[in-house]
Structure 1
Amino acid sequence: MKLVRYGQSGQEKPGLIDADGTLRDLSGQVADIAGDVLGDAGLEALRALDPADLPVVEGSPRLGACVGNVGKMLCIGLNYRDHAEETGLPIPDHPILFLKANSAIVGPDDDVILPRGSEKGDWEVELAAVIGKTAKYVTPEEALDHVAGYCVANDVSERGFQMDLSGQWTKGKSCDTFGPIGPWLVTRDEVPDPQDLDMSVDVNGKRMQTGNSATMIFTVAEIIAHLSELMTLHPGDVILTGTPPGVGMGMKPPVYLKDGDVMEIWIEGLGRQRQKVRADA
């Protein structure tokens, strides 16, 4: 299934995309696409519905973040071997973890706003895993059973805030609008191997990032298992699993986002995002 949230910001309704690509309304079935419906039982109940019986949503409404009421957004840094090599940083021994503020989360095609003082805005296509079942002390072999589904994420970054201001990476990762997720949540049964997904980023029509999740240092299953040793993962938590090479910071000379740029973010089978970049007034 492809589950979506549509409508004005803060007023999104739940929906699904049927086999013909038509948006169908789910608000008569569930209140939201959020943790309480992302478990196996909740997803099975949605699968049992006949999409033809659901109301068609007319027009082309805005798509919001594909998961509502996110508990926490956990991000893994330097998790692609070829990306670590382009940055000149050592291969980590354990997953590098940072948090992205939930207030950064926006829809897949919402504008990305560079905050005041931003001079080093950057893009990062990432495979995101959404937790569907509470995970604590799970093994890598069990981990993917705790995933509701996967979606596209853009881990937008402000490298100056991230690297030059004292403190943690979170400063450059949590600015408003720096966490687009969607367009839809694809349930795990439709993603047979999360370690074999092509992905890319185009900026102003020029290909910048190209990669495949096969080059992850730590697999999605290993990441979930590791995080579950540190904290309980709850339904609706979103985990960003790292980015392949081709970020602006890694280019020679570096290339950073500016007002008016357009980013297109794509992952095989999970859909495409498109964001216009705006400088905050």
Structure 2
Amino acid sequence: MKIVNFIISKEHTKSFGIFRTDGIIDVGRHSGCRDINEFMAHHQLDELQRYAQLPADLQPDDISFLPVIDRPGKIFGVGMNYAEKRKEFNETSDAPTLFVRFADSQVGHNGTVIKPSSTNEFDYEGELAIVIGRTGRNISAEDALSHIAGYSCYMDGSVRDWQHKWYTAGKNWPSTGAFGPWMVTPDEVGDPQNLSIKTWLNNRLVQDDTTANMVHTIPQIIAYISTFTQLSPGDVIMTGSPGGVGKTRVPPLFLHEDDIIEVEIENIGRLTNRIENSPLSEVVRSKTAA
């Protein structure tokens, strides 16, 4: 099942639903819940099956995609989690490298990703994202997959010259990441550690790997994070980006206005976004603050 979060364009109202080949079932209208977060807070996710046989209410042209989870309690990123990426950045740490993202740093499928005016090092990173569906603390690796509501694509845009010693500053400029198009439930994804993951920049294949090459597996990541914080429905974990990012290429390959960046993951879908420069007002505010 593909679960999509959206704005109904004509009504300017927020909802969520089930995405099918013949259209979208507006589960928000039928259930009274405004998004998947609210639904998961009051229902088991498998209760969505009761709506799956309803006729479609909307077509893709009727909506604007929101991030799959636009009000996450937490967004964790796992850095340096693919063997090739670790080689590119000379990473040697044995523990997962974590950072956080804020909700306003992400847009949905077909949304505009904003390149900050103050950087010439805006980089792409295609990633598999997981959405937590069941509350847990000290979750064992053996039980970890049962806590997942679904999987999605993430473009973890990185402002490289603002990553400094830690990653957080380079990950949280407004609208620099993208999350979508939808969340696919585990029954349709299959083995999450055996999915091809590709990133395309202007139709050029720039990242090509498999989730089998993660250094820390998805169960290990969930077990590690849940040791120090409770994971709750709607929390998001980005599981890391393969090698081939722009920073380590010769010459470097960064994102610029009107570029099209796409992240494609097997059994999930293809997330597409266009890059736009941030407005001049950002530069003015930056100079004023300085």
Q: TM (normalized to structure 2)?
A: 0.89
Which range is displaced more, 145-154 or 4-13?
4-13
Which residue number in structure 2 is paired with residue 210 of structure 1?
Answer: 208
Which residue number in structure 2 is paired with residue 69 of structure 1?
Answer: 71
- Does residue 141 of structure 2 align to residue 143 of structure 1? no
Letter in structure 2 aligned against 1:49: Y
* 1:185-205 CA distance string (max 9 Å, x none): 111122221101101111111
CA distance in 1, matches of 2:4, 2:114: 23
CA distance in 1, matches of 2:250, 2:42: 46
Identity, in percent, stands at 32
Deviation at 1:140, TM superposition (A): 0.3
Which residue number in structure 1 is paired with residue 115 of structure 2?
Answer: 114
Which residue number in structure 1 is paired with residue 273 of structure 2?
Answer: 275
Q: Secondary structure at the match of 1:184?
A: strand
Which range is displaced more, 44-53 or 100-109?
44-53
- Tell whether the 8 Å contact from 1:65 to 1:182 is kept in structure 2 after alignment: yes
* 1:142-200 CA distance string (max 9 Å, x none): 0111110110011000100113xxx5311100111122111011111222211011011
Distance 1:58 1:217, change over 3 A: closer
Distance 1:121 1:237, change over 3 A: same
Distance 1:180 1:15, change over 3 A: same
Distance 1:256 1:59, change over 3 A: closer
* 1:42-91 CA distance string (max 9 Å, x none): 2221113343345244734211111242111000000001111122222x
CA distance in 1, matches of 2:218, 2:89: 22
Letter in structure 2 aligned against 1:7: I
Which residue number in structure 1 is paired with residue 85 of structure 2?
Answer: 83
Q: Secondary structure at the match of 1:245?
A: coil
Q: Secondary structure at the match of 2:216?
A: coil
Which residue number in structure 2 is paired with residue 230 of structure 1?
Answer: 228
CA distance in 2, matches of 1:58, 1:126: 24
Alignment of 1:237-276 (within 5 A): 237-276=235-274
Which residue number in structure 2 is paired with residue 132 of structure 1?
Answer: 133
Letter in structure 2 aligned against 1:59: D
- Tell whether the 8 Å contact from 1:5 to 1:32 is kept in structure 2 after alignment: no
Letter in structure 1 aligned against 2:141: P
Structure 2: gaps (5+ residues) = 280-290
- Tell whether the 8 Å contact from 2:263 to 2:271 is kept in structure 1 after alignment: yes
- Tell whether the 8 Å contact from 1:75 to 1:99 is kept in structure 2 after alignment: yes
Question: What is the RMSD computed on CA atoms of the aligned residues?
Answer: 1.9
CA distance in 2, matches of 1:88, 1:263: 26
- Tell whether the 8 Å contact from 1:83 to 1:243 is kept in structure 2 after alignment: yes
Which residue number in structure 1 is paired with residue 6 of structure 2?
Answer: 6
CA distance in 2, matches of 1:66, 1:84: 28
Distance 1:192 1:41, change over 3 A: farther
1:219 to 217, 220, 226: 217
Structure 1: gaps (5+ residues) = none
Which residue number in structure 2 is paired with residue 17 of structure 1?
Answer: 19
- Tell whether the 8 Å contact from 1:39 to 1:133 is kept in structure 2 after alignment: no
CA distance in 2, matches of 1:245, 1:38: 34
Aligned length in residues: 276
Distance 1:182 1:58, change over 3 A: closer
Which residue number in structure 2 is paired with residue 197 of structure 1?
Answer: 195
